[in-house]
Amino acid sequence: MSTGHRPTVLIDVDGTIADSLPAIAHGFRLALEEIDRPLPPESFINTIPGPPMVETLASLGLSDEQVDRAFAVYMEHQHAGAWQRAEMFPGWPELLRDWRAAGVQLATATSKGEYFACKTLDNFGLLDAFDFIGAASDDGSRQTKTEVIEYTLKELGIEPDEAVRPRGSVVMVGDRIHDFEGAAQFGIPAIAVKWGYGSESEWASAAAVASSPGDLNRVVREMLYL
CATH number at 199 reads 3.40.50.1000
One domain for residues 102 and 191: yes
Residue of 145, 194, 197, 180 lying closest to 22 (CA atoms):
197
Same domain, 37 and 130: no
| 168 within some domain | yes
Q: Are residues 15 and 27 in the same domain?
A: no
Task: Say if residue 49 is in the same domain as residue 137.
Answer: no
Number of domains into which the chain is organized: 2
Do 156 and 187 share a structural domain? yes
In-domain check, residue 178: yes
Which structural domain, as residue segments, surrounds residue 27? 21-85
* Domain match, 81 and 49 both: yes
- The verdict on residue 76 lying in a domain is yes
Same domain, 66 and 129: no
Q: What is the pLDDT of residues 169-204, one digit of tens each?
A: 999 999 999 999 999 999 999 999 999 999 999 999
Give residue 1's pLDDT band: very low, low, confident or very high (50, 70, 90).
very low
Q: Pick the closest to residue 7 from 186, 169, 220, 191 (CA basis).
A: 169
What CATH number is given to the structural domain containing 55?
1.10.150.240
- Domain identity same for 160 and 219: yes
Asked if residue 212 and residue 104 are part of one domain, the reply reads yes
Whether 3 shows a pLDDT value over 50: the answer reads no
**Does residue 1 form part of some domain?**
no
Same domain, 61 and 147: no
DSSP-assigned states of every residue in the chain: ---TTS-EEEE--BTTTEE-HHHHHHHHHHHHHHTT-PPPPHHHHTT-SSS-HHHHHHTTT--HHHHHHHHHHHHHHHHTTGGGG-EEPTTHHHHHHHHHHTT-EEEEEEEEEHHHHHHHHHHHT-GGG-SEEEEE-TTSSS-SHHHHHHHHHHHHT--S-TTTSPTTSEEEEESSHHHHHHHHTTT--EEEETTSS--HHHHTTSSEEESSHHHHHHHHHHHTT-
* Distance separating alpha carbons of residues 192 and 212, to the nearest angstrom: 11
The answer to whether residues 26 and 132 belong to one domain is: no
- Tell me the per-residue pLDDT of 127-155, one tens digit each, with 9 for 90 and over: 999 999 999 998 888 989 999 999 999 99
Inside any domain, residue 2: no
79-130 pLDDT tens trace:
999 899 999 999 999 999 999 999 999 999 999 999 999 999 999 999 999 9
pLDDT digits (tens, 9 = 90+) for 58-81: 999 999 999 999 999 999 999 999
Domain edge (last residue) among 34, 54, 85: 85
Is this structure's pTM higher than 0.95? Answer: no
Cα gap 185→179, rounded to integer Å? 10
In a shared domain, residues 64 and 174 = no
Q: Are 179 and 145 in contact (CB under 8 A)?
A: yes
Tell which of 85, 109, 133 closes a domain.
Answer: 85
